[in-house]
Amino acid sequence: MVSIKSNILFLLSLLVSCEVVSARNHGSNADAESPEFRIECVMPEREFYEGQPVPITVTLFSTSADVAYANPASLSRLEGEDFSTSQVISPAGNAYEKDIDGKHWYCFPLSARMVTIDNKGKYEYGGGSFVVGVNYPTVVRDPFWGPMRTVRTEEFEVPVQKVKFKVKSVPAPPKGLQYSGSVGTFELKTVVPEGDIFVGEEATAYIILSGTGMIAESTLPEYRDAFKKGVSLKSVTESRDEGHDNKGRMLSEIKLECTFIPTDRENAEIGEARFDFFNPSSGKYETIKSKPVKIKVKSTASKRSVMSI
């Protein structure tokens, strides 16, 4: 049988082992043993176009894996002006390890934003600082229980290094191009849900624009000319969605729910929709078109039940 005294000893040892001692590091005797830190603003590229969405990830590089926390003490900012758009990416990303100049670093993404800038020029982002806590295993001598294992947490205030980058102007669009102001890589398709479609009765089709990049506000694919062959467009409902993938790319989608009425049984078709945009990968303007979709239209007479005598 386990005695009450032994249970009390076990619980007390747990409490003591969880003790955390916090102290701000300002040049103590432990400096020689302190880990190295730096905080950088990591960007996939340092030169990009106006309106092109780019992630900025504030990342802690530490020679110690025993980082307990990193709390912002003061915020980073863009020098000179504000971002045109700025969306928080959560989570900022997974921790990883990296060798740089012969030294092994533990890398902790602290915060991330997807940003755009609409004006060309040279910019600088960063500044501010984080308070970083590091755990150190240690043994203390309790006057009653003797040597006890515990954890000491030491704090370090680490500045955020500034990053410089350049925003390039988008070239003038060719004549006749209905440029949407959107920057990225996109695709366009038309989807007609399965089910019977009858002449003279309402039906639904979806025109979906999706891809990586920023779809400009108040911008839609050109869809009106797609409803001129044996169909009549009645109404359109728009929905938008934005997000990001695990590679830090911005994902955008516009879905147009189009209510139409077939006017011709034999020759009904939803034609091409089109969308013009600037592709930063190629540095060129591009036009995409959806494929035409043939509509199988039934007569309303087929809905009547057959009567037998």
Asked if pLDDT for residue 139 goes beyond 90, the answer is no
Q: Of all residues in the chain, what percent carry a pLDDT higher than 90? A: 72
Q: How far apart are CA 73 and CA 82, in angstroms?
A: 21
Model confidence over 214-261: pLDDT tens digits?
999 889 999 999 999 999 999 999 999 999 888 889 999 999 999 999
Secondary structure tally for the chain: helices H, strands E:
1, 21
pLDDT for residue 149: 81
CB 38 within 8 A of CB 61: yes
- Of 19 and 240, more confident: 240
pLDDT band at 301 (very low <50, low <70, confident <90, very high): low
The single residue listed with the structure tokens 């960007």 is: 43
pLDDT of residue 30: 44
pLDDT score of 23: 37
pLDDT-derived band of residue 302, with 50, 70 and 90 as boundaries?
Answer: low
**Whole-number pLDDT of residue 33:** 66
| pLDDT surpasses 70 at 99 | yes
The pLDDT tens digits for 39-64 are 999 999 999 999 999 999 999 999 99
More confidently predicted of 32 and 71 = 71
pLDDT for position 246 = 83
pTM, full prediction: 0.78
φ, ψ dihedrals at 174, nearest 5°: -65, 155
Give whichever of 30-34, 171-175, 251-255 has the largest mean pLDDT. Answer: 251-255
What would the pLDDT profile of 81-97 be if each residue is shown by its tens digit? 899 999 999 888 999 99
Three-state DSSP at 228 gives: coil
Helix (H), strand (E) at residue 10: helix 4-17
The answer to whether residue 32 scores a pLDDT higher than 60 is: no
> CA 81 to CA 66: how far, in whole Å?
37
What would the mean pLDDT of 112-124 be, rounded to a whole number? 95
Cα 238–chain centre separation: 22
Integer Cα distance of 247 and 232 in angstroms = 42
Q: How far apart are CA 149 and CA 99, in angstroms?
A: 32
Distance between CA atoms of residues 178 and 277, nearest Å = 9
Q: What is the average per-residue pLDDT within 110-133?
A: 96
Q: Kindly provide the residue ranges of all beta strands, DSSP E only, lying in 75-227, ordered along the sequence.
A: 77-78, 85-88, 96-100, 103-116, 121-126, 129-142, 146-159, 163-168, 183-191, 203-214
> To the nearest whole number, what is the mean pLDDT of the chain?
87
Q: How would residue 137 be classed by pLDDT, with cut points 50, 70 and 90?
A: confident
pLDDT of amino acid 228: 94
Per 3-state DSSP, the chain is made up of helix, strand and coil in percentages (nearest 5) of 10, 55, 40
Q: Is the pLDDT of residue 25 over 60?
A: no
